[in-house]
Structure 1
């Protein structure tokens, strides 16, 4: 297969809109560098748990948590919420996890290059850089490595070909110079 044929679009994949039916929600438990930036850790964790518990009434929720945070996480969430242990640096799953795509039959995951928001918060996000690949393994999704620095939460689509993104996210000289 040529490199050109490996592009998701050329294999029939597309990024569905957020509001389309999907199987599950992935979240990351507040940890590490989150806790350094936000002083009210307990409130943050209770908020994440409340969101996970509410969403779990309608679809499967999986929370990624560090081993050291698992017990506290499980104490705050409903039993129906899954917890998967992976080493993570913060709680921004949409930015560092895979962007899920589909071909109508199977799931794919795009792994954007993550450089910590243009290195604005320092270089300490090495675990988060591995997250998308790990989640695609867990979900048995087709894996697509994208050589573009981008936070997955910085893009939106209607699922029909319209993509919304800000210049600050994609064209920042500390992300994608040139």
Structure 2
């Protein structure tokens, strides 16, 4: 059987995949709001393409608008879409002995939310799978890329409110989710965080994506979102997450070095408590594209990221127009790992045993 491994985001990339904003919810109600959305997405794509290839999937009737904003170095491919969060609707790429694979999860609008549409987004992962030449890997689990992070060595971060959401995977247990991640991604150890941030659990949220909460800067090193303002309801959530991670170990039984990324001073906007998070950055070849918020803590956050990712250029991009629409830099990007990075046997014999067991008894 094939042994798949999901590489860490920090490992070499072949390219980045994105999608172009086109949904009324994302574009807003006025031409100015649409321009703001397109500008925000394009800034991220244009920053990334200075370091690695970028392909943006664009609905056919949006190609002219996309070309107005995107660098000429960005590749554009026509693709029908409902929205533009390609981290969630795209495939999760993996490596195996025979090269590149792409896990195509079931997408159902972040748990079947009544405002979401997924006629096209439900199959949007097939575009990057086909264009990349990856071997398709089908999963019966409802999941999104923003709902997981890995160190590339078999350790994964999840939240109970996403993969165990009754609107996503009714009746599934932690054991079943872990088995499916072992089968498809090479998971050896899953660390479950209790829940996501406050706004992310409100009407237009994802119900708790982990890519706002914590990520791996390197094996053994976790960057963790911390809300110090005790008036903000996220203060209790981040304290709970820190306690879980302080007691956790990776797939090899080693404890983590925890680096705190303090939330911006801004705590509210016109719609209530914000979920602004510096954790929602994107690591790519030679660089990190980071969220900024025109906030006094931006500079400190960028300095923490520079120290956490030595040798990479840290590029700050104003992410407020992304967050007001429901996400950040990480949410709109999806990495395709470089096959030359090597995957055969990288998960180790222990991983192969776990994956084999998962295939025999997993829910899919």
TM-score, normalising length from structure 1? 0.89
Paired position in structure 2 for 1:174: 167
Task: Find the partner of 1:15 among 6, 13, 36.
Answer: 6
**2:49 matches 1:42:** no
Runs of 4+ with >6 A deviation? none
Q: Where does 1:55-94 land on structure 2 (aligned, <5 Å)?
A: 55-94=48-87
- Deviates most, 20-29 or 102-111: 102-111
Q: Could you tell which deviates more after superposition, 88-97 or 124-133?
A: 124-133
How many angstroms does 1:12 deviate by?
2.0
- What is the deviation of 1:124? 2.2
2:138 is paired with a residue whose SS is strand
**2:119 maps to 1:119:** no
Flag structure 2 segments of 5+ consecutive residues without an equivalent. 172-364
Q: Are 1:24 and 2:49 counterparts?
A: no
Contact 2:106 2:141 in 1 (8 A): yes
Name whichever of 119-128 and 151-160 sits farther off: 119-128
SS in 2 for 1:23: strand
Which runs of no fewer than 5 residues in structure 1 stay unpaired? 6-10
Would you say 1:51 and 2:44 are equivalent positions?
yes
Counterpart in 2 of 1:97?
Answer: 90
Asked if structure 2 preserves the Cα contact closer than 8 Å seen for 1:34 and 1:91, the reply is no
Please give the residue correspondences for 1:105-144 in structure 2 after superposition, counting only pairs within 5 Å.
106-122=99-115, 124-144=117-137
Q: Deviations over 1:58-86 (max 9, x none)?
A: 00000001011100101111111000000
For residue 106 of structure 1, report the CA deviation from its aligned partner: 1.4
In 2, distance between residues paired with 1:160 and 1:141?
21
Distance 2:19 2:75 in 1: 11
Q: Alpha-carbon deviation of 1:104?
A: 5.8
Over aligned residues, Cα RMSD in angstroms? 1.6
| Deviation, structure 1 residue 167 | 0.7
Contact kept, 8 Å, 1:33 with 1:89, in 2: the verdict is: no
Say which is worse superposed, 125-134 or 91-100, in terms of deviation: 125-134
- Of 143, 147, 151 in structure 2, the residue corresponding to residue 154 of structure 1 is 147
Q: More deviation in 26-35 or 75-84?
A: 26-35
Distance 2:125 2:20 in 1: 15
Instruction: Say which one has the larger Rg.
Output: 2
